[in-house]
Copies of this chain bind each other. A is one copy, B any other.
């Protein structure tokens, strides 16, 4: 079940370096793309690299917002599919059979089967966007599946909700065993 994540803990959804799906919407159009280059920038901000050729970028720049979806392992094929197709030519959601959840606070679709979702407003930084394709988002809302993340920590109570770490091509690593250091 999708539950809210306190904003002060939302950066932890990205700390371990999962691959992401970026969703966006504007004027009745929507899209989804894959992004491995995303990270927390601060406790209330994140960054993501969005190439100039991406249709998602057009939607993001027009609407000023985007959602970082953190896919569970079952979505590995979908990550590769949406990463190798163009949302200007096809509806990736229907083409690849992706279900979405509607969240009342935004028109951006949340991809079903993810472990977590982070809704961001773009902090306009034209130089970064033009020179480095780097977008900075202020985190305005976050949710997680309660079988994956609870009380501010990943639990992966449901092993199937373990997240993915991108390598290259169609290769990923699944999030592995936990390790705790006590000083």
**Contact residues, A27-60 vs B (CB, 8 A):** 36-42, 45, 47, 49
Interface residues contributed by chain A, number (CB under 8 Å): 52
* Residue from the list B42, B80, B152, B165 in contact with A181, Cβ < 8 A: B80
Nearest CB in chain B: distance from A18 CB, A: 6
Is A2's CB within 8 Å of the partner chain B? no
Nearest CB in chain B: distance from A154 CB, A: 6
Residues of A within 8 A of B (CB): 12, 15-19, 36-42, 45, 47, 49, 73, 76-77, 79-81, 84, 127-128, 132-134, 136, 152-154, 162, 164-168, 170-183
Please name 23 pairs of A and B residues whose Cβ atoms are closer than 8 Å in the assembled complex, sorted by A: A15-B166, A16-B167, A16-B173, A17-B17, A17-B36, A17-B166, A36-B40, A37-B41, A38-B39, A40-B49, A47-B47, A76-B179, A127-B127, A128-B128, A132-B136, A153-B167, A154-B173, A165-B165, A170-B180, A170-B181, A172-B181, A174-B176, A174-B178
